[in-house]
Structure 1
């Protein structure tokens, strides 16, 4: 008997529908006509054991116990899952072959693998297990996937990576949460001070941004704009050019190259006004920008937050409904923005479905060219899963909720863009000398909107076109104006910009060598966890919202200020993410990741004993909903 183990009941039912013949629905599994069976997990059936499973003394939070590092890790059934775990265990006893049908990501891989191992399946069955990868729950897509089952051993690296992440999070979160909660109590704070491998650096981004804004002092800086006129044309054609300070001006500039001495700018104005100018160079370049790639989850969440003010968690929930319930989009927890070449032939069907589902998209689909192949189709960029796109299923958008309709249309529009040409434009650049100073004028003009017609702006704002110039041409500087501006502070994070910061964390890393490491594995957390991390920081009242802005609470600030910088900066965690990716690619061993991690945790706990605990005094000991869980399962932290 072949046993298919899906991640969720909805996926299990979709797999069963891919087989013909009479089927028998049982409690927790479906028996197929040929005797094979399809069963499912309910998300994670197993979880890391609580510390007291390793030693009863660990039930009490005490600094002398730290760090707690299991030698032999223990998994236990999650509450409410024992019944389904028993069903799978019973079916595995008679199975001659097992197919891992977890979701197509590292968590889905581990989720099923750990159940197979926990149930003590024979080694030869584990070695010969298959892997079923499904990105689309529609019947034709499922049938196609069933004909392409791969060896499960090809994904061992993915499973080990997920295992390393799970254990790293347990070690780091449990030990440092206990350490800092106990220190907080010493300082007079009675709440739980939760520390996480990813959540704490994210909180650190917010705390530092808040501090930067609070300490910011606006200062004036100065620019010079010249108004130039041609001499040949009648009437003369005019345009503006901006002064470019020379190297000699550096003593009068700030670190960003802005002139901060008003007298210097005034001198340039007086020297250039009414003086002749000469064109040093003039270029016209034809440029183009291709359509943006289809969405991965983070890119979709960022756009949805900007356009609809939807939280990342809300977007993920909507996507899960569109995927599982309505079957209108492909697998949503994807980190890929590319599509397999074999999917290109399905484009006409997908476009037709979009047109049928969403009448507002009719014109966009009618004007699409399904023969155009954008850079999104690239097999080398696709592995277990591909970009989030609409399926070929037809279902009226009127049957969806308001948020479901918004997200579906956002995904659909991004897909339709792949069948529009690039946005084409001309870029003019003129370099002009006036009284020994250099001025530059630039302008852009669209020649073909291409995919931009599908966006709300239709066309970006461009500078007025420059007149046609030639090198050496004489001009008149008919006016020169001093423009005074003020430096502005950075903006508070919003959910969209914080999510963008998590996916592009290299921008916040100072060390050049770390930036290089992060070039290809940029990001804090995963597509599936980033939304929950932001939500968790709100629930634990380390962050709060003011309108769209995110601010750190006094408790969040105190925690970040108490922790050593390496715990609150993205550098260390981002390197861990890069190493987890290496494990999944079989470029790093599990032990080479875990051993340094254990050593680091020990050092961080030792360093925590030197902090000033008085900073926790006077903080409000709030009792959010999660505290009940902490009190009930305090030893699990």
Structure 2
């Protein structure tokens, strides 16, 4: 009997498909039924081969540009991918497998993941496409009944491959070219660039330049309090003849640009009577549109401070694991026109569910159904505005248990889903004009008459604006109090993740070409699915840093913008390149553009970028460089910045801007020149590519050097801590522990006679340990949860507590996983596997025996648990902590580093 192989994107999706279709038994990492073999990728198993895999050694112009002559080669993404690839290739080559179904995520990336696997295997078998919008059982079954032909997916495959290869060509060649340029004078200054990430960075840097160049201007407003028969109200002076000035957007009708002008208004109106006219008119406000991923990320960042990456992960979990939301990686805010029945079913489910997560939704869902508000409406249902996916909405499956963060995202989506079907909110807006001595003052009030969709968000009252006291038409009022108010203009706000996502989405406004601007109006910079990754990439490469919720470009970012501008590589500093690509990729998806022609254009762009960097011959790059406030430590003259160094204008003193591949911020250089020491600092990279931390010092010979804190060994001079305050008592000998360069040390470890060896690094795995945390560790044996550790093996960030061990050394402790929930999940999976196996007649006997054995063990464990409930709970917690500690500690190769 022949079978069809189904390849999903993740194991969890494969499990859901097996449950929806039924009849499967589990065979290790794949499932099998009479009709299907079912397995999955684990995300991207394959990636395009880099030049480093072929040509070893330092990146240089000698090996650029790197443009594959034929088809791009593939390699496993990492070691973990190899075993899964072997399994999939084996399944693909099975003789009884005569057809394949692509069940990876519905979109470019899912298409690419699948096509790479098939390419790697070398098989040529018929292919069908499963297009899933939701992970509910009903949606999966319906999708299998409507499989798409492979020929219809070829344009999407072409666009997916082209996007990946184009990003590779620009990213690989651009990064290596700029790195080679920046490393000309020695060292290795990695300078990553990318087709999307660099224009995104340029947007942030441009805003920062505007902030830095901004010069605040003084202005005045005149505020008055008036007495009417019914009470007091306030008004603000305005100029009724004011017209907007395109060249000076800071000018507004209520602003006066001199104190004398403001005082003349005050003098003319003080104590005088005035007349009142009033205009009141109704106004309506529609609810916002349904969420796509970008708008959901913006809302979650504004309301909860969630990063774009976090919101995507939560939405993906709600889609994939809980089946509570539809596909999240969408750029559409509309639903298909034939979705009315599904929407009504969803509201039926919401109105009937007793889940505690649905308590705030039941009433409103019932109200929508009772009033018949689900009906055709182009603002909600529009096929023309639905691309591969539709808006994010709740599914027919209401979750019963969610984490706090997951519940917040689910609540956001569900409330927005209900709100679009509610009537608009109705207001009465009142504008009151008070005229005194030919000067006019405006008072505005906004009264909520009917809350409409705002009722869902608890806004039923009239609010503060409703307190506008009534006046009769042409009533005479007296000016009770009047005064000028001194104010200043403010620079534009820095970007947050929410506003940067908006800027990326609307980046087409920055493009001059009409056709490209129209193309970018649909997608902007990046896609909803990639924008979070782009922002995180800029943060990880230290081009951006977070200050609260603000995103601030670093000195490294400004250096890159200076370089690209100086080399005239405009393709990477404006959104136009992306606009052109997105326009062409969209045409390719629609079958209107040839892939080969697109890739030829990309190759030409790559050649130009490398050529400009390779052939630049001037001594420096022109730019807007800083003049430091701190004088030269060698001669006392002025120190100025140039492209590569900070150099004295009078003597030969200079220091690099990028020691150890880490770029100085201006305040850091000022402190280093003043104190001749700086740090400890993280973010340095060794010649072997390993991150390290160190203190920077300017020596007596005025040279810059690293201090690794290793200079207090047996032959070193003793250290005197007289006058310093100890951070706490040494866990080994009880003496004082002090701050000493790169380390916290026991005073007896650096005394004349060294009688103790306690020492702990101030930076451990790139996480700085503040003095307050060291004090807490010494006093209580444990720090707070610190979230900046970076594994040297995987380069992944992780959270941990530092703890004092019995031998006086410092170790890690990790947050325990909830053992109870894990046990339930494992039990459920075991039961399901046994049940699936029992479906086969030949396996019934073995399944029955296994079930009996499992039941017996479960009964025994349950009895034991009841008998020793408290002790077992404590033991389980302790075991969980130890297990987690061992697992994560094994991922850290430097746990015996001197930093500990």
Pick the TM interval, shorter chain. Answer: 0.7 to 0.9
Tell me the equivalent position of 2:180.
182
Tell me the equivalent position of 1:550.
551
Deviation at 1:188, TM superposition (A): 5.0
For the pair 1:386 / 2:390, whether they are aligned, the reply is: yes
Q: d(CA) in 1 for partners of 2:533 and 2:686?
A: 17
Q: d(CA) in 1 for partners of 2:244 and 2:451?
A: 40
Q: d(CA) in 1 for partners of 2:343 and 2:222?
A: 52
Structure 2: unaligned runs, 5 residues or longer? 622-641, 645-655, 663-681, 692-900
Compared CA separation, residues 167 and 350, structure 1 to 2 (3 A): farther
Q: d(CA) in 2 for partners of 1:204 and 1:313?
A: 21
For the pair 1:531 / 2:536, whether they are aligned, the reply is: no
2:328 to 329, 332, 350: 332
Taking the TM superposition and a 5 Å limit, the aligned residue runs for 1:60-75 are: 61-75=59-73
1:618 to 652, 657, 668: 657
For the pair 1:601 / 2:606, whether they are aligned, the reply is: yes
2:288 to 280, 292, 295: 292
Structure 1: unaligned runs, 5 residues or longer? 633-637
Q: d(CA) in 2 for partners of 1:557 and 1:158?
A: 37
Q: d(CA) in 2 for partners of 1:48 and 1:380?
A: 35
Q: d(CA) in 2 for partners of 1:463 and 1:253?
A: 34
Q: d(CA) in 2 for partners of 1:354 and 1:290?
A: 28
Q: d(CA) in 2 for partners of 1:16 and 1:626?
A: 47
Deviation at 1:630, TM superposition (A): 6.6
Taking the TM superposition and a 5 Å limit, the aligned residue runs for 1:418-429 are: 418-429=420-431
| Maintained 8 Å contact 1:372/1:418 | no
Q: d(CA) in 1 for partners of 2:245 and 2:388?
A: 52
Tell me the equivalent position of 1:47.
47
Tell me the equivalent position of 1:635.
none
| Maintained 8 Å contact 2:269/2:479 | no
Tell me the equivalent position of 2:503.
501
Tell me the equivalent position of 2:805.
none
Which segment is superposed worse, 247-256 or 98-107?
247-256
SS in 2 for 1:291: coil
Which segment is superposed worse, 252-261 or 197-206?
252-261
Compared CA separation, residues 92 and 250, structure 1 to 2 (3 A): closer
Q: d(CA) in 2 for partners of 1:521 and 1:250?
A: 31
Q: Deviations over 1:320-373 (max 9, x none)?
A: 322222222222222222223322232234414765251542565466413323
Compared CA separation, residues 224 and 514, structure 1 to 2 (3 A): farther
Q: d(CA) in 1 for partners of 2:583 and 2:465?
A: 39
Deviation at 1:227, TM superposition (A): 6.7
Q: d(CA) in 1 for partners of 2:81 and 2:190?
A: 28
1:260 to 234, 257, 262: 257
SS in 2 for 1:369: helix
Compared CA separation, residues 436 and 155, structure 1 to 2 (3 A): farther
| Maintained 8 Å contact 1:277/1:435 | no
SS in 2 for 1:11: helix
Which segment is superposed worse, 166-175 or 301-310?
301-310
Compared CA separation, residues 512 and 323, structure 1 to 2 (3 A): same
| Maintained 8 Å contact 2:231/2:469 | no
Q: d(CA) in 1 for partners of 2:368 and 2:101?
A: 39
| Maintained 8 Å contact 1:355/1:365 | no
Deviation at 1:219, TM superposition (A): 0.8
Deviation at 1:259, TM superposition (A): 4.7
Deviation at 1:184, TM superposition (A): 1.5
Taking the TM superposition and a 5 Å limit, the aligned residue runs for 1:200-279 are: 200-224=198-222, 240=235, 242-244=237-239, 246=241, 256-257=251-252, 259-266=256-263, 274=272
Q: d(CA) in 2 for partners of 1:496 and 1:145?
A: 34
Deviation at 1:561, TM superposition (A): 1.8
Which segment is superposed worse, 454-463 or 184-193?
454-463
1:568 to 538, 551, 573: 573
Deviation at 1:176, TM superposition (A): 1.0
Deviation at 1:195, TM superposition (A): 0.8
- Which of structures 1 and 2 has the bigger CA Rg? 2
Deviation at 1:175, TM superposition (A): 0.6
| Maintained 8 Å contact 1:100/1:152 | no
| Maintained 8 Å contact 1:110/1:162 | yes
Q: d(CA) in 2 for partners of 1:301 and 1:452?
A: 21
Compared CA separation, residues 448 and 345, structure 1 to 2 (3 A): same
Which segment is superposed worse, 257-266 or 599-608?
257-266
Compared CA separation, residues 117 and 474, structure 1 to 2 (3 A): same
| Maintained 8 Å contact 1:252/1:260 | no
Which segment is superposed worse, 168-177 or 438-447?
438-447
| Maintained 8 Å contact 1:220/1:485 | yes
| Maintained 8 Å contact 1:5/1:38 | yes
SS in 1 for 2:521: coil
Quote the RMSD (CA, aligned, Å). 3.7
Q: d(CA) in 2 for partners of 1:295 and 1:286?
A: 28
Q: Deviations over 1:301-324 (max 9, x none)?
A: 222222222222222222232222
| Maintained 8 Å contact 1:160/1:590 | yes
Q: d(CA) in 1 for partners of 2:313 and 2:440?
A: 55
| Maintained 8 Å contact 1:157/1:586 | yes
Tell me the equivalent position of 2:445.
443
Taking the TM superposition and a 5 Å limit, the aligned residue runs for 1:325-364 are: 325-340=321-336, 341-342=338-339, 343-352=342-351, 355-358=354-357, 360-362=359-361, 364=363
SS in 1 for 2:283: strand
Tell me the equivalent position of 1:304.
300
Deviation at 1:117, TM superposition (A): 4.1
Q: d(CA) in 1 for partners of 2:242 and 2:420?
A: 45
Q: d(CA) in 2 for partners of 1:439 and 1:275?
A: 13
SS in 1 for 2:368: coil
| Maintained 8 Å contact 1:229/1:475 | no
> Normalising to structure 2: TM-score of the pair?
0.61
> Normalising to structure 1: TM-score of the pair?
0.84
Structure scoring higher RCO (CA < 8 A, sep ≥ 6) equals 1
Deviation at 1:444, TM superposition (A): 2.3
Deviation at 1:172, TM superposition (A): 0.7
For the pair 1:84 / 2:89, whether they are aligned, the reply is: no
Structure (1 or 2) with the greater helix fraction: 1
Q: d(CA) in 2 for partners of 1:549 and 1:250?
A: 30
Which segment is superposed worse, 512-521 or 403-412?
512-521
Compared CA separation, residues 332 and 236, structure 1 to 2 (3 A): closer
Deviation at 1:409, TM superposition (A): 2.2
